[in-house]
Amino acid sequence: MSGFNKYNILLLFTFVVTMLFIKTFVVQLYVVEGTSMLPTLRYGDIVLVYKLFYAQKIAGFLISIPGPMKIDKQDIILFETEDSKMLVKRISGLQGDFFIRKNNGAYFADRLRKNQDKVEKIPPEYYLVLGDNKGSSYDSRQIGLIHKLQLRGKVIWIFKD
């Protein structure tokens, strides 16, 4: 009987450790707050975030599993701001892309010529992120470019009501 109890405890421990690993490093459900991603995401929508190969903050330390981190334009990502807020936005510019920073804070990550006035280039390991609802989005226009170590994962599934 005592061997059976040890087995059950070991099985439960293994299950808990596996679930914590999966939640911390592989996938996690995230509830969308705010309206900055309308019409794609609404307040209260639940998204599944793929976190493997993205840096995760654990006890104040950034930890990541080495591997390919594939980010493309138009991907929806979860990232952490400098003040530790988690935000969901769309990738609008990749490293090497050119963009214009207008006086009103607007960004345009289009095919721009290098010699245009006020054109900036996104440096390596940085991304330009924008909300789909640009009129009410807190994004790269206010907080600047996002470093790859701020990325926490990529949205791979949206659960709609």
Domains of the chain and any CATH numbers:
2-159 (2.10.109.10)
Q: What is the pLDDT of residue 108?
A: 65
Across 78-85, average pLDDT: 94
In 4-66, where do the E strands start and end? 27-31, 46-50, 56-58, 61-63
The mean predicted confidence, pLDDT, of the chain is 88
Task: Output the pTM of the full model.
Answer: 0.84
Percent of the chain with pLDDT over 70: 88
Distance CA 143, CA 132 (A): 16
Top-confidence residue, 59 or 40: 40
